[in-house]
Amino acid sequence: MLQLLIVVAFSSVPLTLYIPPVRNFNLFVHTLQSFLQDSSLFSFRAFFRIRLAFSRIFNSIVHVTW
């Protein structure tokens, strides 16, 4: 059991080299947050334009079939 614990511990050590320290996440989180805010504003406006376009298309289809 001890050998298994040692093997798992030493095999996970190289993985810590790929994970940046916590102090480097601040810039990443800030950039991600600003990107999501900008894209959500764009997608919010685009959603209403797409909804308006579909409602006009469906209204014209319903108007023609009546």
The CA distance from 65 to 51, in Å, is 21
Question: Tokens in use for 33?
Answer: 């947050």
The CA distance from 58 to 7, in Å, is 64
Question: Which tens digit of pLDDT belongs to each residue from 11-60?
Answer: 766 666 666 666 667 887 888 888 888 887 777 778 888 889 999 998 98
The residue type of 66 is W
Residue 22 sits in which domain range? 2-65
pLDDT of residue 61: 86
The residue type of 8 is V
Number of domains within the chain: 1
pLDDT of residue 16: 66
Give the global pTM. 0.40
Q: Is 7 helix (H, G, I), strand (E, B) or coil?
A: helix
pLDDT of residue 49: 87
Question: Tokens in use for 35?
Answer: 């990107």
pLDDT of residue 15: 67
